[in-house]
Chain A
């Protein structure tokens, strides 16, 4: 157990639907990062939050949004889902900066049918 909790582990939904992925960072970590890993692709950075504020944005689609709550857990919202959104979505956390690397959750496998 890495200390980063992601729920749900698996999600199957239809095109056009909206889903919410949840992440609880490791205790004491203030930064949360979201990554997308598609089939045969590396990890694509989506967005970073630090202590409730958005800090960095990657190639995140407008249909996707995220937030970090006062208790530091984070949610990634994916709407108007398309087949191409099927992927493994990782949440990771770090204490403040990422200089010592990130601790990753086990991911949420999203399948859009």
Chain B
């Protein structure tokens, strides 16, 4: 079974600074996909970034980038130039294929200090 671990329940960052959110996962599959989702106070789940395990290049979406370490089964999210609107809960998630579900970590609450 796939598991996703987010060991930090909360983090805080100063506006305009950079923060890294950690995530580790466990899987026996060789082909899988990793995601970060954002859940702001509105509770809407928003896809932030996606990484394909067979791609060595780290995914980037504007101010959001990942550090994907396949051997270590680590998938961290870096937020650059943090903005007040980045304050939210962030979930790391893992998916293996056609008949697989998206497995989420417990999430981390990020606060942004003005």
Interface of A toward B, CB cutoff 8 Å: 2, 33, 41-43, 45, 48, 55-56, 58, 88, 90, 92, 96-104, 106-107, 109
Q: Establish whether residues A42 and B102, one from each chain, have CB atoms under 8 Å apart when the complex forms.
A: no
Q: Establish whether residues A58 and B98, one from each chain, have CB atoms under 8 Å apart when the complex forms.
A: no
Supposing A42-B91, A43-B91, A98-B95 touch, asked if A33 and B101 sit within 8 A by C-beta, the answer is yes
B106 contacts the other chain (CB 8 A): yes
B50 contacts the other chain (CB 8 A): yes
**B35 to chain A: which residues have CB within 8 Å?**
101
Which B residue's beta carbon lies closest to that of A57?
B101
Q: A96 is contacted by which of B98, B101, B107 (Cβ under 8 Å)?
A: B98
Which B residue's beta carbon lies closest to that of A47?
B101
- Nearest Cβ on chain B to A40's Cβ, whole angstroms: 9
Question: Which of B11-19, B39-47, B65-73, B80-88 is near enough to bind chain A?
Answer: B39-47
Supposing A42-B107, A88-B43, A90-B45 touch, asked if A101 and B102 sit within 8 A by C-beta, the answer is yes
Q: Establish whether residues A41 and B106, one from each chain, have CB atoms under 8 Å apart when the complex forms.
A: yes
Between-chain CB contacts (< 8 Å), 29 pairs: A33-B101, A43-B45, A45-B103, A56-B99, A56-B100, A56-B101, A58-B101, A88-B43, A90-B45, A92-B45, A92-B102, A97-B98, A98-B33, A98-B95, A98-B101, A98-B102, A99-B52, A99-B95, A99-B97, A101-B33, A101-B37, A101-B47, A101-B50, A101-B95, A102-B47, A104-B37, A106-B43, A107-B43, A107-B44
Which B residue's beta carbon lies closest to that of A41?
B106
Which A residue's beta carbon lies closest to that of B32?
A99
